[in-house]
Amino acid sequence: MQLLEVMTLPIHFMFLHNQMTQALVRIVLKQEIDSSSTGNFERNVFDESFIEFQLQAQAYNTENKFRTLQELVANNPKANSLHYKVGFSIGLFVNELKNVIPGLKDSLGRPVSFASHQFELIHSDITQRAAHRVAITYETDTMTLFATAGDYLVLATGDRLVEQDRQPVDTFLLKIQPNVSISSWLRKPDELDSKLLRQTQSN
Amino acid sequence: MERKEFLKRVGLMGLLMPIVAACSKNDPQPSTTTTDSTTTTTTSCTVTDTETDGPYPLYTSRGSSIQRVDITDGKKGLPLSMTLTVKNVNNNCAIISNARVDVWHCDKDGYYSGYTNSGYLGTQNNTSAVFCRGLQYTDTDGVVKFTTIYPGWYTGRVTHVHVQVYVSNVLKLTSQFAFPEDINTAVYNTSLYSAHGQNSTKNSTDSIIKDSLTNELATVMANATTGGYDLTHTLYVSA
C-alpha cells in the first residue's frame, strides 16, 4: 500500500495494522521439574528420568570418571543424545496428560491442548538426586492469533484466517506469562494482501 | 505389564542377583579364536563384541513409551520376529533372566525414529515417533521377543539392529547384529523395499560389522506363515 493511501485513508491504515498482527502461530509452555516439584505427574517424571539418566549415562561414562550431564557432554558430544534417550522414559506419563498442558489455563480457566512435547535435561548428576532438573516444552497445534488485548493473546484453534470473513470464529484469551512463548509464526501475505485489496476497493 | 508390578520389580532390581540356568548342549558356541583385543574368552563362550551405539539410541523404563513387544508402530515392511537370548560368559554360558534388552533399528527406508534424519527420501522429522524401538526384560529362559519389520538400510551401513543389555541396572553390552547377505538381497527385491534398491555395503565391507561376524551375525529363517522372517540371536555378556 502506498504511503499516500495510508495518510488519506486512516481507517484503512487501522485495518491494515490490525491485519498485520494476525498470523498462524503455535504456543509453547516450558514446564521445569526438579526435586521440589509436587504433583503425581511431576514426581513421576522426576523419579523416572533420574533413574533413566543414571542408566543411560553409563554408555558415556565407561571409566566412571564423570558425574554430571555437562561433564559427559564435554567429554563426548554424543552424550547430548541423553536428552532424547531419557525423554522417552517418561512417554507414558506424558500420554496420561491426554494432551492437556499442565498448569496452563485460558482467561476462563479452561485447559489448553498440546500436540507435541519435547523433554530436556537441564542439569543432572548421577550421584545427586536432588540436583536433577528437567524441562518439558509443550507445543500446541496451529492456532490463529487475531490480536492482542492488554496482556492477553486473542486466539482460536486451527487456521481461521479465511473463515473469519464469512462467519464468527470461537476465540479465547491466553495471558502472556512467564514460560509461555510463541514458537512459530506464519502470516499468509498473499491471502491477507488480496483481502486488504478487496476491502480497499469496496470502500 | 501392570505399573504396580513393574514398580515392585524396579524397586527390587538392585537387590536381585541374575537368575541363571545352565546352557543346553545345543546352544551355539561362538568361536574362541577371535583376535579382537576387547573380547573376553572363557572355556565355552565369548562376550559379544562391543559396537557403537549409533547416533541416538533411546531407552526407557517405568514410564516408557517403548517397553513393548510389538515395536512396529504401523510401519510397513516384511514381518520380522526377533528372539534374543542373553547369556553369561562368567557362568558357563548360563542364561540371564531379568536383564533389560533395548533394541532399535531403522524403518524399511532407512530412517530412525526419535530425531530428525535424512535419507534417500529427503529429511524426516521423527522427533515425536518411537517406531522400531523397544525394550524388554528377559524371561526365565533368558529370552526377549520383539515383533517388528525387516529393517531397511541407509548409505554407509549394512542392515543391522542396535542392541544394549543391562543386568541389575548396570550396562553390560552395547552392540549390533547383522543379517545374512542373501536374505538382505531377497528382502530388498520385494515390492515394499525395491524402491530403495540394493545396498552396496555388505557384511564383509561394513566398517563396524565386518570384523565381528562370528558373533554379530543373526540367524534368520523365512516364515511361511507371516510371509516374513524369524530372527534368533544370542547376546553374550560378562555379568
Per-residue model confidence as pLDDT tens digits over A113-143: 999 999 999 999 999 999 999 999 999 999 9
Window 164-223 of B: residues touching A by CB (8 A cutoff) are 164, 166, 169-171, 174
pLDDT at B62 exceeding the cut of 80: no
Phi, psi of A59 (to 5 degrees): -65, -25
Q: What is the pTM of this model?
A: 0.77
Higher pLDDT, B55 or B115: B115
Average pLDDT on B147-159 reads 97
- DSSP tag of A109: S
Give the residues of chain A that fall short of pLDDT 70. Answer: 1-21, 188-203
For residue B83, being part of any structural domain is answered with yes
What CATH number is given to the structural domain containing B230? 2.60.130.10
* B36 within some domain: no
CB contact under 8 A, A89 and B53: no
Q: B55 and chain A: CB distance < 8 Å anywhere?
A: yes
* Contact of B168 with B133, CB cutoff 8 Å: no
Give the β-pairing of B219-223 and B160-167. Answer: unpaired
Are A135 and A31 contacting, i.e. CB atoms less than 8 angstroms apart? yes
Q: Is residue B35 part of a domain?
A: no
Instruction: Say whether A85 and B59 touch across the interface (CB within 8 A).
Output: yes
* CB-CB contact of A42 with A33 (8 Å): yes
Q: Is A53 on the interface with B (CB under 8 A)?
A: no
How many helices (DSSP H) and strands (DSSP E) are in chain A? 7, 9
Task: With a cut of 70, say whether residue B25 has pLDDT above it.
Answer: no
Q: What pLDDT does residue A139 have?
A: 96
Return d(Cα B99, Cα B46) in angstroms, integer.
Answer: 18
Q: Which residues of B touch A86 (CB under 8 A)?
A: 59
Q: CB within 8 A of A177, min separation 6: which ones?
A: A151
What is the rounded distance in angstroms from the CA atom of residue A43 to the CA atom of residue A47? 6
A55 in contact with B, Cβ within 8 Å: yes
pLDDT (0 to 100) of residue B51: 73
Does a structural domain hold residue B148?
yes
Query: Domains in chain B: how many in total?
Result: 1
* Portion 107-126 of A in contact with B at CB < 8 A: 116-118
Which residues on chain B are in Cβ contact (under 8 Å) with A60? none
| Residue A193 Cα distances to A16, A201, A202, B2, angstroms | 9, 12, 14, 57
Q: Is residue B33 part of a domain?
A: no
In a domain, B77, yes or no: yes
Strands of B2-93, DSSP E: 19-21, 79-88
- Over residues B27-34, the mean pLDDT reads 39
Give the pLDDT score at B107: 98
Chain centroid to CA B42: 23
Higher pLDDT, A185 or B18: A185
Residue B53 pLDDT greater than 90, yes or no: no
Q: What is the pLDDT of residue B75?
A: 98
Beta-carbon contacts of A175 under 8 Å, excluding residues fewer than 6 positions away, are: A107, A151, A152, A153
Structural domain boundaries, residue B127: 3-27+53-237
Looking at residue A194, what is its pLDDT?
56
Q: Are B86 and B138 in contact (CB under 8 A)?
A: yes
Structural domain contains residue B41: no
Q: What is the mean predicted confidence (pLDDT) over B186-200?
A: 97
Three-state helix/strand/coil letters over A51-107: HHHHHHHHHHCCCCCCCEHHHHHHHCHHHHHHHHHHHHHHHHHHHCCCCEEEEEECC
Answer yes or no: is B38 within a domain: no
Assess B64–A contact: CB distance below 8 Å, yes or no: yes
Nearest chain A residue to B60, by CA: A89
A92 contacts in chain B (CB < 8 Å)? 63-65
d(CA A91, CA B40): 37
Mean pLDDT of chain A: 86
Between A203 and B64, residue with greater pLDDT: B64
Tell which wins on pLDDT, B131 or A199. B131
Chain segment B100-130, per-residue pLDDT in tens? 999 999 999 999 998 899 999 999 998 888 9
Residue B89 pLDDT exceeds 70: yes
* Terminal alpha carbon distance of chain A: 15
